[in-house]
Every structure is written in C-alpha cells, then in structure tokens.
Chain A
Amino acid sequence: MSHDNLPVKNPDLGHSVADPGIEEHIERFTDVNEGAGNRAYRAILLMLAAVPVLAIAFVVIYFAVPRNAYIDFGWLKASAMNVGLGVTAGLAVLLIGIAVIQWARVLMGDEESVEYRHSAASSEEDRKVAAQLFADGVEQSAVKRRPLILGALGGALGITLVPAVVLLADMGPHPTRRVREETIEKTLWANQVRLVNDENWIELRPEHLEVGQLVNAQPASLQELHGMEAHQEKAKAAIIVVRMDPNSITIPPSRADWQVSGILAYSKICTHVGCPISLWERQTHHLLCPCHQSTFDLGNSGVVVFGPAGRALPQLPISVDDEGYLIATSDFPVPVGPSYFERDSRNDFKDGDQ
C-alpha cells in the first residue's frame, strides 16, 4: 500500500500524549489451549448439525400439521402451523448465524490488521491529468467555436420534461369548481331522503329514538350502491343521529327547524382529517374522535371543545315525512369532512352564532 495522498497531513496535531500505537496482540484461550479450541470447534459443528434436523422438522410440520390445529400453552394460544414453522425455521437460520460468528470469533486468526487510508480527494497528478483530458474533450467537441449548441441542447432536454409531466394529467379528474360541486361538496342527502340505521337498514322514526340514544345512520339511497360508489358516498354521507333532552341543549334560532324534538343529525366525518366519529357521551353531549381526539359538543351545534379540529361538525337539517319517517330536508349546508384549500368556510357554524 502506498502512503501518499493520506487524508490528513498532520494526524498528531494537538496531541498532548504521544500515540502509544496499537495494543499488543494477546492470544485467545482457544489459540493456546488445544482442548478449548477443539471444544469450540465441536460446538460449532453441533450447531450446524442441528440445522438439517430443524429443516426436516419444518417440512414435516408443513405437510403434517393441519391448518386449523392450535397450540394452547400458557399465554401462547396460536396456530400450531405458524408457531411450528416459525420456531424451526427461525432456530435453523439463527444457528447458522451463531455458528459462523463463533467460527470468526474463536477459530479464525484475530490479529488486527492496519490499512492506510487515502484522501477522498484526488491526488495533484490525477487532478492535472483529468483537467487536461477534459480540456482535450472540450476542444474536440467544438463547443468553443459553436457554443450555442450547448444552450440549445439544454433547452431541448429541459422542454421534454413538459410532455413527460403532462402525461400525468390524467391521474385523476381535475377538481375544478364544477367537479368539486359534484363530488366532494355533494352527498347523497337531499330533501325527502330517509335516514336508515347502518348495516341493518332499518328506517328511522322519531318514536324509535329515546333521549340518550345514538344511531349510526346512512341515507336510504346508499343501499342501492355497491363497491367504489358505496364507499365514496359513505365517506361523505355517514351521519350520527342523537336524541337529547331539548331543555338541556342550545339550539340557535336559525337551526330551530333542523331537528325533530331533540333529535339532531350531524356528519359522522371529522372536520380534522376525516375519521368517522361516534364516541358520544349521552350526559355531556360531547363527541370524541378516536383518531386525534377532537371533541365536539352536539348539544351546541357541534362546536369544537377540545382537540385539533378547526371547524364545527356540519349539521344535517332533518324533519319527518308524511309517513312519519325521519328525512333530510336538504343536503349538508356546508361541505363535510376535512378542510381543503378551495373550501369556502365562511358559512360554518361558530360558537355563539344565531
């Protein structure tokens, strides 16, 4: 190894104690004691010999253990297949590793070597030669005489990015105002749409709800949708319907006819990042989001009382139709769900609004 072009010219700079040099090498026990060496050797062989046994056990477990067999051993109540395969394969692989490391630790020579480093920078000679080669290349390329070619090439290459980026414009529909009004600013709710219980689709009537009751509801029209459409609509239309004692809550005059004798409907989608919320306390009327703990007061038009949410929970105006079922009287007056840049948030309810 050559000792030129070292990284640091004066490695002893500032040393107040002279470098004593590398420690003296001391043999290991396994180096000097034949018996100890042989024992370590045998232990390594034993570990490697266990691997085929474990591998065979793995194959046996794979084919012989039924998929629905379970181990019930103390805290471990698990699939026998999973535990069996994991333990045999895991131990086999682990033993290979330990055996090889032990080989390196106790049987391979352990005298430390020293290697010289080179500065990351090139040597003076390399620098000169490279500069000359580069100059030769520049000369050969003729750009000095015809320099515009470089600018033109750069511009041409740069502009090809535009078609490449434009190609991605169809990744999704463009959320122009018209598109937003048909998608994220619109839900299935409309006048006369009935409220139904989620999952069992029972249509709700006011007399079905008692004070202190919570219903996780959906628009009746959701039932006809499936797959993606159902998910997209559900992600906006999900509501919670609660019944509270009208005397224990505050209903602003502007929302007096949004409710049916203490039955109120709110969007289930949090205004923070959109988790569905239904952790409702019947005594405090507070609604907690389990994702980031925004807390809304459903007894006060859904205003935020704790947590990171920035806006009140949108309320859905509801009424009763001729047949006595609960219906919405319109869509949500404001877009539901988390905030986005183009959202006009001037009409959201603020604490104290009438």
Chain B
Amino acid sequence: MLLILALLVVGLSYSVVSPPRSSAETETTLQIEQGKDIYMTTCSSCHGLGGEGTTQGPGLIGVGAASVDFQMGTGRMPAARLEAQIPARKVNYTQEQIEAVAAYVHSLGAGPAIPEESQYSLDALNLSGDEKARAVARGGALFRANCSACHGIVGGGGAMPEGKYAPNLTDTTPVHIYEAVRTGPQQMPMFSKDVLTDESVSEIIAYLEAADEQPNYGGLTMGDAGPVAEGWWIFIIGIGGLSIVALWIARKGARAR
C-alpha cells in the first residue's frame, strides 16, 4: 500500500511539477507512462506484465479504454479476490488515474474508447418534447428486448447461474452503462455499435433515467420484488392485521370483577 501511495504521490507531483509539453502527443505519452506505472503495481499480477493475461485474469490486449473505465470506474477492478462475480465497490482512483490506465491498456491494442457524452445522451439530438417521449418509449422496448431478461424490469437486477447476478442499474451512471453495453464485462455479452447503435443505447439510457425518476404511482413498493413481495405482504398485513382485529372482536373485554 505504501508503495502504491508513494508511486501515486510521485506520479501526481510529477504531472503537476513538470512543465507543460507543447504537443498533445507527448501529453498522451506521459499519460500512458503514468497508466503503466499504476498498471504494473495493481493490475499486472493477474493480467500479466504486458496485459497478456494469466490464469488469474483475462488478457487485456484489445479490450479498449472503455472496458478499463468501466471496471475501475465502478470499483470492480482491482479485484480483492477471485469469486463467482467481482462486485462493484468503492472507487479508490481518481478519474485521471483511471484514464491513464485506460490509455495504457488502449496502447496495448485498440478497442472501444471511452465515449463522448453525445454517444450516450439524447440531449445532443435536440429532440422536441414529443419526439423525445417517443425515443424514450423506444428505449423501453429496446431495454425489454435486450436487457430486462437479466437486469429485471426497469433494471432492478436479477439472478444468474451459480451465485452470479445481473446487477441493479439504478445507481449505474450513463457512461458506465454505455461502456458495459459495448465491452461486455465479466459474463455480460457485448453489443456492438453496428447492431445496437449509439442512438439505441442513448434511448435505453434515457428510458432508464426516466423510469428511475418517475414516482411509484401506486404507493410504497415494498422491496420491488414483484408478486413474491406482494404475496408476503398480503399475508403479513392482510391476514396478520385482520387476524389481530378478529382477536379483538372475539375477545371478552374488561370485566367488572
């Protein structure tokens, strides 16, 4: 840990202290160097010194910057240990550091890049209110065709075999959703731009945001577990509550002696 910290400090101070280079190219080179440093200390033990992969982790040549941004940006990487599924955790790296590692991994072999906002947001299209509503509704249909089977209705999450799961999407940022769609982290399949266009993904993301913002029109959702939760509640509140009332009805009240 100390070593990492020391390297971080050195790296950071280096980037701050050193005079700005004139060309973007050298900036990129610098970023790659910084990313390589972080990679060597935190990633290489599993993914190999040159990103070629080991028995502990897959090769990273060609996975692209988007993959790194997703894995590190959601705290899944670096992983604490091997398990059925690496869970999302608190992120311990700055976006700058993550981008540096992403740049380094990108330099090993090209893959999907970290997206611009216009790629995952409908805002860039300047749609009218009605057009936007239709786009969001289309996003809902696309979500149900491609995503809800695993991630559940409106992204509540779902079970997968052998202890794996499709995570809840309500707290996932749009950029990470986009990156997951394009790179297919862990067991998730990927969806290429040619088949699920940027516009389609933007519609899906817009739908998820709209669905998350809407109120639960009918009242408390009681865990959002669908008919299973509803069944529990009818027994607890319905049968339980009414049985207590029934007890009260049939009970002989306070007696004079």
Interface residue ranges, A against B (CB under 8 Å): 26-33, 70, 72, 75-79, 82-83, 86, 101, 105-106, 110, 197-200, 202, 204-205, 207-210, 212-216, 242, 276-284, 286, 288, 290, 293, 295, 306
Contact = CB atoms under 8 A, between A and B. Distances in A.
B197 interface: yes
A31 B254 CA distance: 10
Contacts of A199: 138, 141-142, 145-146, 200
A197 B248 CA distance: 61
B6 to A, nearest CB: 36
A79 B218 contact: yes
B160 A28 contact: no
Contact of B197 (A72, A77, A202): A202
Contacts of B150: 278-279, 290
Given A76-B219, A79-B215, A202-B197, A26 B253 contact: no
Interface stretch (B7-15, B172-180, B186-194): B186-194
A26 B253 CA distance: 11
B200 A208 contact: no
A153 B217 CA distance: 61
Given A278-B149, A282-B190, 8 more contacts: A33-B256, A77-B215, A79-B218, A199-B200, A213-B195, A281-B160, A286-B161, A293-B161
Tell me what chain B mostly uses at the interface: helix, strand, loop, or mixed.
loop
Contact of B161 (A26, A214, A242, A288): A288
Contact of B187 (A101, A207, A208, A282): A282
A26 B256 contact: yes
Nearest to B146: A216
9 contacts: A27-B255, A28-B254, A78-B219, A200-B196, A202-B197, A212-B184, A213-B190, A216-B145, A286-B161
A72 B217 CA distance: 11
B180 to A, nearest CB: 12
Contacts of A86: 219
Interface string B237-257: 000000000001100111111
